[in-house]
Each structure stands twice: as C-alpha cells, then as structure tokens.
Amino acid sequence: PAMRLDAVTILPEYFEPLRLSLIGRAVESGLLELHVHDLREYTHDRHRTVDDTPYGGGAGMVMKPEPWGEALDALLADLGSREDRPVLVVPTPSGRPFTQAEAADLASHPSMAFACGRYEGIDRRVLDWAGGLFDVRELSLGDYVLNGGEVAALAMIEAVVRLVPGVIGNPDSLVEESYSDADDPLLEYPVYTKPASWRGLEVPPVLLSGDHGRVGAWRAERSLEITRARRPDLLGRPAAE
Ligand code: ADE
C-alpha cells in the first residue's frame, strides 16, 4: 500500500521539488501519495488572513487558529480510517531533534502529515486540540532558525521516504551509511572512483588491493578518525564548541 504524505502550508510551491528525481518517480508510480494543501483555502475573509499580532505583545505575527482548525478537520476527514491517530509532524526549532531513528519510525506509518508554520509559530491551542486526534510530533532539524517549516518538512520527507521499500533502487545503499545503525553511530569513510590518479592525487592504494579484509579495516579506521574530529559527541565525548 502507498504511503500518504500531506502538507498544510501557505507556500504550496515549496513542495514542487518532491515531483523530481527518485521521490518524484515514487509519486508517479503510486508508491507515494502526495497531497499539498494551501492553508489560505481555509480562510473566509477577503484578504485570506492567516496571522495576527501576538497576545502579550512582542515582535512578529502568530498564525491564527481558525484556518488551521478547518484545514486539519478536512485532513482528518480525508485520511479516513487509515490509522487511529495519524501522525502530524510540526517542524519547529523548539521541537525535539529529528533523527534517523525518528525517520525510520515515521517510515513505518501508513501516512504522515506536516503542519508548516512560520517560525513565530502557530497559536498553541491548535496543537493542544490536535493532540487529541493526531499523534503530534514537534520536531527540529537542528539548532538554527529557518523562516518557516516548509524547508524543514522537505528535509524530513526526504529522510523518511527514502526508507520506504521500493523508493530507493538499491536498498544496500541504505545499510552502510552514517547514522543507519544506532549501535555504531559513526560518520562515513571517504569514497573514491576512477581515475586512480587525478590532478596528482592518488586513490589510497589499499582500495586497489582487492583485499576485502584490509579495505574493511581501513574504512573502519577512517570512520573513527572522522567521527573523532567532527562529531566526538557520537563517541560519548563532549562536543567541541
Ligand atoms: N522551522 C524553523 N526553523 C526550524 C528548524 N530548525 N527545524 C524545524 N523547523 C523549523
């Protein structure tokens, strides 16, 4: 059965890249079902207003609850009985970290919906209300701030969807990569292809040796070295500031 993806956004065009390449092909072939919803379709005023000033004061605008309520009502009706409490991902810098483990969990669900807000946020009551009907997951891509949830949603969608069986041509390429094994969280070793000599730079000779044991050992060493230098936190050491 196809995995269903929904996104609610004021910028539907941001999701057009999902029609390209590997994911595009999965959508074409029916492996993925993609539904992008314009939040403004759920407004009723002439200006199609989706935001307002924050109670309590402060800079920026907050997304109004009413259009979100109607959009999520419609989404629930549309999802029908696929799942008891469908997953609703809310990308936000104040979410818990999005990880490979989270991606793998999301890939095991029949549907996944994204509520994309601007970073000042959606009126809190929307997510409190939605929590009764959806499995709401507020997730952050990392410790930096984007202008809205759309780009974060794209990244999360790509990370999840490539784990769905059939989306990636060669499933072997999924097993060796960084973060894929929670017990062995090392960064990837460097890779090389032909020619063996390029601009005076040589491919490490061990890779030309045909000795799979030595190749494996060399790659494990490089992985450890790179992880130590770039992500000591993955090895249980404090991260360099
Ligand atoms: N929206 C704005 N910034 C974000 C981030 N870092 N992660 C997820 N969603 C966001």
- Asked if the interface predicted TM-score (ipTM) of this complex is over 0.95, the answer is yes
Q: Find out whether the beta carbon of 145 lies less than 6 Å from any atom of ligand 1.
A: yes
- Which of these ranges, 22-31, 61-70, 197-206, has the smallest mean pLDDT? 22-31
Pairing of strands 3-9, 32-38: parallel
Q: Measure 116 CA to ligand 1 centroid, in angstroms.
A: 10
**143 labeled part of a ligand binding site:** yes
Nearest atom within ligand 1 for CA of residue 147: 2
Rounded Cα gap, residues 199 and 83, in angstroms: 56
Contact 148, 11 (CB under 8 A): yes
**128 labeled part of a ligand binding site:** no
**192 labeled part of a ligand binding site:** no
Tokens representing 77 are: 């009706």
Give pLDDT, residue 82: 83
pLDDT digits (tens, 9 = 90+) for 30-84: 999 999 999 999 999 999 999 999 999 999 999 999 999 999 999 999 999 888 9
Q: Measure 104 CA to ligand 1 centroid, in angstroms.
A: 20
For the entire predicted model, the pTM comes to 0.93
| Per-state percent for the chain, helix, strand, coil, to nearest 5 | 40, 20, 40
**Mean confidence (pLDDT) of the chain:** 94
Q: Find out whether the beta carbon of 91 lies less than 6 Å from any atom of ligand 1.
A: yes
